[in-house]
């Protein structure tokens, strides 16, 4: 039994198929199958129910996976614990929402690199659902996401800030009533597959509004550019950390019952790089607090 075999078993448990696990551990499907046969022989137990179309983990395999996660984490932490660097080096893969790419993320990453120059960064933008799935599978160390209604099992979420939604319109737009504008102007929808898109849709329904949808986008910069061109109005988060350069548009609050999103940092509860993520979270907090002062 080797650490490599345990990593492959964990990958299968996370992805639920040999093919997907092969991509995670960077080997072929055939190699995954051979590794699992070797591991079953080493352990003397059946790890998979092969009577199903897709092999499923046996009850004992689930117990072994839980132990294997700790063994692999301890193995990976062996050198940092001996050298005393606390894991404040190496590569951190971070998922981020596109709405943070021009404000919160670059400012926080600049501080992180200054404080910990030995830390490598790999940033991957995406939607909350996709990023949380990647965190759960171990493809990402952590992600800056919107808190969903239901958090996946095994994921820790730490609140950073709360951002209310606001209506944006072209600067030349005469009206200042967001409800009237939503009723009369074309509506540029935030991607409905995003948590923010769902929050906005639910608020619109609660108001009994019928909007004239003209397009659906998930890039805040694209939405703002369309609004600036007077192609319609939109509802977007009022960012806690504003972009260094933003598209000039009129911003109107939606009122006391405006939907809000909770922005935070998500990572696996068994995450090995916990000290580094603690430092990252503290930096994110400082950036948010400074922006609000």
First to last CA, the chain: 55
Kindly report, residue by residue over 102-116, the tens digit of the pLDDT: 899 999 999 999 998
Above 70 in pLDDT, residue 80? no
Q: What is the pLDDT of residue 234?
A: 96
Q: What is the pLDDT of residue 91?
A: 82
Query: What is the percentage of the chain residues whose pLDDT exceeds 90?
Result: 50
Which DSSP string do the residues of 186-245 spell out, in sequence order?
Answer: EEEEE-TTSHHHHHHHHHHHHTT---EEEEEES-HHHHHHHHHTTS-EEEEE--SS--SS
Q: What is the pTM of this model?
A: 0.72
Kindly report, residue by residue over 249-286, the tens digit of the pLDDT: 999 999 889 999 999 999 988 777 888 888 999 999 99
Mean pLDDT over 24-52 rounds to 87
CA distances (Å), 23 to each of 30, 126, 149, in order? 12, 20, 30
Q: What is the pLDDT of residue 77?
A: 62
CA distances (Å), 174 to each of 106, 171, 177, 227, in order? 35, 8, 9, 14
Strand runs labelled E in the chain: 48-49, 56-57, 90-96, 119-125, 142-146, 155-169, 186-190, 212-217, 233-237, 250-253, 260-268
Residue with more model confidence, 247 or 96: 96
Cβ-proximal residues to 137 (8 Å cutoff; 6+ apart), any chain: 11, 14, 15, 24
Instruction: Please tell me the distance from the alpha carbon of residue 255 to that of residue 259, in angstroms, as a whole number.
Output: 9
Above 80 in pLDDT, residue 1? no
Above 50 in pLDDT, residue 100? yes
Q: What is the pLDDT of residue 87?
A: 56
Mean pLDDT over 51-68 rounds to 85
Lowest mean per-residue pLDDT among 13-27, 97-111, 125-139: 13-27
Query: What is the percentage of the chain residues whose pLDDT exceeds 70?
Result: 95
Above 70 in pLDDT, residue 143? yes
Kindly report, residue by residue over 164-187, the tens digit of the pLDDT: 999 999 999 988 999 999 999 999
Mean per-residue pLDDT of the chain: 88
Instruction: Please tell me the distance from the alpha carbon of residue 216 to that of residue 60, in angstroms, as a whole number.
Output: 47
Above 50 in pLDDT, residue 83? no
Above 60 in pLDDT, residue 86? no
Domains and CATH numbers, the chain: 3-76 (1.10.10.10), 85-161+262-292 (3.40.190.10), 165-261 (3.40.190.10)
Kindly report, residue by residue over 225-251, the tens digit of the pLDDT: 999 999 999 999 999 999 878 889 999
Q: What is the pLDDT of residue 71?
A: 83
Cβ burial of 86 (10 Å; 0-12, 13-18, 19+) is middle
Number of H helices, E strands in the chain: 11, 11
Above 90 in pLDDT, residue 147? yes
Mean pLDDT over 115-133 rounds to 91
């Amino acid at each position: 039994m080797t650490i490599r075999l345990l990593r492959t078993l964990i990958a299968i448990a996370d992805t639920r198929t040999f093919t997907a696990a092969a991509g995670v551990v960077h080997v072929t499907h055939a190699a995954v199958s051979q590794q699992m046969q070797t591991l079953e022989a080493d352990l003397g137990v059946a790890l998979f129910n092969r009577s199903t179309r897709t092999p499923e983990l046996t009850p004992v395999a689930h117990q072994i996976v839980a132990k294997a996660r700790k063994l692999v984490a301890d193995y990976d932490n062996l050198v940092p614990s001996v050298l005393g660097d606390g894991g404040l080096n190496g590569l951190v893969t971070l998922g981020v929402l596109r709405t943070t790419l021009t404000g919160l993320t670059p400012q926080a990453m600049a501080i992180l690199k200054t404080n910990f120059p030995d830390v490598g960064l790999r940033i991957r933008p995406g939607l909350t659902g996709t990023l949380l799935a990647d965190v759960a599978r171990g493809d990402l160390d952590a992600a800056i996401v919107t808190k969903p209604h239901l958090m996946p099992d095994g994921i820790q979420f730490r609140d950073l800030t709360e951002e209310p939604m606001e209506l944006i319109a072209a600067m030349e737009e005469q009206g200042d009533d967001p409800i009237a504008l939503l009723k009369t102007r074309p509506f540029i929808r935030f991607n409905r597959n995003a948590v923010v898109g769902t929050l906005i849709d639910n608020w619109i329904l609660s108001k009994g509004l019928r909007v004239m949808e003209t397009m659906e986008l998930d890039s805040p910069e694209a939405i703002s550019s369309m609004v600036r061109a007077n192609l319609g109005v939109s509802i977007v988060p009022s960012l806690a950390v504003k972009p260094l350069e933003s598209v000039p548009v009129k911003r109107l609050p939606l009122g006391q019952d405006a939907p809000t999103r909770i922005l935070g940092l998500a990572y696996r509860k068994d995450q090995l790089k916990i000290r580094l993520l603690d430092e990252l979270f503290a930096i994110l907090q400082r950036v948010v607090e400074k922006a609000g002062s």
